[in-house]
Amino acid sequence: MDVKQRPDGVAVDEDKLEAAAGGIENAGNEPTAMDKLTLRQLVVKHPAVIWWAFYWGMTAVAWGFDAQINGAVISIESFRRAFGYVQDGEAILPASWQSAFNTVTSVGGFFSAFFCSWLADRIGRKWTLFVGLMLLTGGILGEMFTLARGGFVAVKILLGCGLGFMLTLAPLTISELTPVALRGVALSGVNLGIAIGQLLSSAVIRAFGSRSDSWGFQAPFAIQLFFIVFLLAFLPFSPETPWHLVRKGRREDALRSLRRLYGPNVDVEAEAASIECTVVFERESSEHSATWAQCFRGTDLLRTSISLGVFVCQHSAGIIFVLGYSTYFFQLAGLPETESFNLGVGVTACGVAGNIVSWFVVNSLGRRTVFLTGMFSLLVLLLLIGIMDVIPANGAQWVQAAATVIYNFVYFATIGSMAYTILGETSSAALRAKTSGLAAATQSILGVAMNFANPYMVNPDEGNLQGKVGFVFGALCAVACVWSFFYIPELKGRSIDEIDQLFHLKGTFVTSVANITEKFTERTERTSPTYHGKLDFFEVGAIQEIVMQNPDVIAEVEKLQLPEHLRVIPQAWCQFEGYLVFVKKTTL
């Protein structure tokens, strides 16, 4: 056994590394068959994958509904009367408590995102969801029956902890359960789930908000329990993700999980072997173990920066400002308050429609194209909102109102949906739970910051910038556009192991074509990481003997400047060390 030490003292077993790089013999001839399935084939032949992607997407619907409800109840008079005071016949909730109610949920979500990530790696994604649902249930019941301000703040923190679990687990689990054809659609569906949850919450507030008794706000809180019941009902039947099971050394359980996803008549050995290849390679070739600190080292720093950066782009594009003040712009345009509220619901519906549109472009146009198109389009719309605020024409307010509607559609069709897709694909397999937790924490802290800053910029007794805030976010969006252009990768159609190798070697691969009949290497050249070939695993030994003695091959490997503890092993499917070998047989 050839064992070396990594810089952090962890032993590197080169025999395991070689086994990973050489491939697992039982994998068969098509170890990436799952990733070659089309969306139509998945729907017709493997509906279980579709169902479980939908199931985990419901956690996003729950997050969107709960988060929206908890902010919207402040508009209900019976809620303000219960937690505030009545002055001159008007129910008033003190500003300090209003700010507390709005922000403590995000605080709870920030801290729980880290705990959720740690727990998901320890006990699995499935039972971590159970813990999150228990926290969420406690928070909901507390909201329903607590009438003291301090107690309500406490249960809001508990609720926020549960919501942090939902937001972390949705992209994490979906990315590990779905194959290439479904992954982009399912991950963009996370944002659709959030939008649907927000739309449903608006309808619930509309239905119960006019009640004068306590059920005006208790009923919306109670309806949140529907999502708890749904998720708990199917949780015992949900398969654990094969990636988590393989990392825990539970290969047989991983095979059972794959069979539950793809059916009993599918050979899942190759898929399990592919997962093992990636897991072993990451574990043995990394200079450090999979800790929080590793998220900010080397290549993983780039992957973490991209995963978090897409959500920074969302807030830089002013999503909270535009959505939060769309009703305000409608009122400026002269619409009555009731009609403004109805149009505000319509704006949310446009977001749902935009997210559905994203399904049709995520796999055709690609992640990078859609994301960049969205960023530059939103930049134009933000500047338009700002410009219309300085034009004294009567129609300027209508242009602002229309711009918010278009903005919402474009946002959800592009960066809103693509952010979750990029997060699920960019994060490394070993650090995916931690990266998802960091992303959820980033969203929470940015949400707090923006909700705090926006009123000071817009309110008449503060900055009174009104629509001119479009210039502020336009400037931030311009910076985000530049960052996006240089950092957002195109990962359309790539399997998880391909993506890992793409980042590990920054896109550099060397391909050798070996003629095993004549026993010589026909050519050696640099290629892209998506360049595939066909290899019989029983021929690996013959290829290694031929290719690895070729001077051109040796020279190309030296150019890669690989870490000393890595060994180059020719293998066509597990593309380790950036060395991809194809086989060519000549006719005898």
> How confident is the chain (588 residues) per 10-residue block, as mean pLDDT?
43 42 37 66 86 93 84 78 81 76 83 91 93 94 89 91 91 88 85 87 81 85 93 94 88 90 80 77 62 80 90 90 69 63 74 86 84 94 88 76 87 90 84 87 85 72 75 93 88 74 57 55 53 42 62 69 53 37 38
Contact 30, 242 (CB under 8 A): no
Write the DSSP symbol of residue 569. Answer: -
CA distances from 403 to 226, 350, 394, 398 (A): 35, 12, 15, 8
The residue type found at 315 is: H
How large is the greatest C-alpha to C-alpha distance in the chain, in angstroms? 99
Q: Where are the alpha helices (DSSP H) in 325-395?
A: 326-332, 337-362, 367-389
The tens digit of pLDDT for each residue in 36-81 reads 677 788 888 888 999 999 999 999 999 888 877 876 787 788 888 8
How much is the pTM?
0.73
Looking at residue 267, its pLDDT comes to: 74
C-alpha radius of gyration, the chain, whole number:
26
**Token code pair at residue 170:** 């949705």
Place of tokens 């139509």: 40
Domains of the chain, first to last: 1-30+239-285 (no CATH), 46-238 (1.20.1250.20), 286-498 (1.20.1250.20), 505-588 (no CATH)
pLDDT of res. 324: 67
- Please give the structure tokens belonging to residue 508: 């550099």
Q: 432 with 97: CB under 8 angstroms?
A: no
pLDDT digits 0-9 by tens, 85-107:
888 777 777 777 777 777 788 88
Distance CA 160, CA 165 (A): 9
pLDDT of residue 132: 94
CA 488 distance to own-chain centroid? 14
What pLDDT, on the 0 to 100 scale, is given for residue 12? 40
Q: What is the pLDDT of residue 25?
A: 34
Apex 173 CA angle, 167 and 175, nearest 5: 105
Name the strand (E) or helix (H) holding 323: helix 319-324
Instruction: Find tokens 């070729």 and name the residue.
Output: 550
Q: What is the DSSP string of 127-149?
A: HHHHHHHHHHHHHHHHHHH--SH
- Do 436 and 298 form a contact (C-beta atoms < 8 A)? no
Which residue matches tokens 């969420």? 136
HSE-up (13 A, CA, CB side) for residue 497: 27
In the 8-state DSSP scheme, what is residue 8? Answer: T
Instruction: Give the burial class of 233: count Cβ atoms within 10 A of its Cβ; 0-12 exposed, 13-18 middle, 19 or more buried.
Output: exposed
Cβ 535 vs Cβ 335: under 8 Å? no
